[in-house]
Amino acid sequence: MKKKVLFVCTHNSARSQMAEGLLRALYGDRYEAFSAGIQPSKVNPYAITVMAEIGVDISTHYSKHVDVYHGIRFDYVVTVCNQAKETCPFFQGGEEYLHSDFEDPSQFDGNEDQKLAIFRQIRDQIGRWIEKAFGKKDNKPLIYQFFSRTKKLRWCVCS
C-alpha cells in the first residue's frame, strides 16, 4: 500500500506544487503525493514551465487550502516553508511531520530568464531533498536517520 504525503506551503503555488509533482514522478510507485496551502492562490506559471522542462506535468494542478484534507490520514505531512510550519505546525491526520525551508521563488524580482533560473534552482533543491528524504527502497524515508517521530497534536486552524 502506498504511503500518503501532504506537502504544505503558504500559497500552494510553487514549492508544494513542485514537491507534489516531483514525488509522484520519482517515487509514485511508493507514495501518493498531495499539496495544499495556508493561503492558497493559483499555481505559478513559472512552476509549471520548469517542471515541464524535466518532463513533469503539473499544468492541471490547482491551489488548495489545507482544510480540504481535514480528516484524511497522511503518513507524512511536509512543510516546505517556515511560514507554513509556524502557522500550521501539526495536522490531526498526520503520522509523521517533516520540514525543509525552501526560498519562495515567486518573491524574486527579475526578468523572465532570471525568474526561470530561480524557479529551476528551487525545483532542483526540492528534488534533491525528496531523493534524500523519500528515496530509500524499504518504503521508510531516509529522513529517519536525522529526525525522530513528532507527536500528533491538533488539526491546523489557519486564518
In a domain, 109, yes or no: yes
Structure confidence at residue 82 (pLDDT): 72
In a domain, 103, yes or no: yes
In a domain, 94, yes or no: yes
Q: How would residue 154 be classed by pLDDT, with cut points 50, 70 and 90?
A: very low
In a domain, 152, yes or no: no
Assess contact for 98 and 143: CB atoms under 8 A.
Answer: yes
Over the stretch 27-67, which tens digit does the pLDDT of each residue have? 999 999 999 998 999 999 999 999 999 999 999 999 999 99
Structure confidence at residue 63 (pLDDT): 97
The domain tally of the chain equals 1
In a domain, 43, yes or no: yes
In a domain, 156, yes or no: no
The answer to whether residue 144 scores a pLDDT higher than 50 is: no
The answer to whether residue 158 scores a pLDDT higher than 80 is: no
In a domain, 158, yes or no: no
Over the stretch 76-115, which tens digit does the pLDDT of each residue have? 999 998 776 666 655 666 778 888 899 999 999 999 999 9
Residue identified by cell 529526525 is 147
Please work out, in degrees rounded to the nearest 5, the angle formed at the alpha carbon of residue 145 by the alpha carbons of 37 and 56: 45
**CATH number of residue 136's parent domain:** 3.40.50.2300
In a domain, 153, yes or no: no
Q: Enumerate the active-site residues.
A: 9, 81, 88
Q: What mean pLDDT do residues 122-146 have?
A: 75
Structure confidence at residue 16 (pLDDT): 96
Contacts of 40 (CB under 8 A, 6+ apart): 11, 12, 13, 63, 64, 65
Residue identified by cell 525552501 is 102
Query: Could you tell me the residue range of the domain that residue 104 belongs to?
Result: 3-145
Task: Record the pTM.
Answer: 0.84
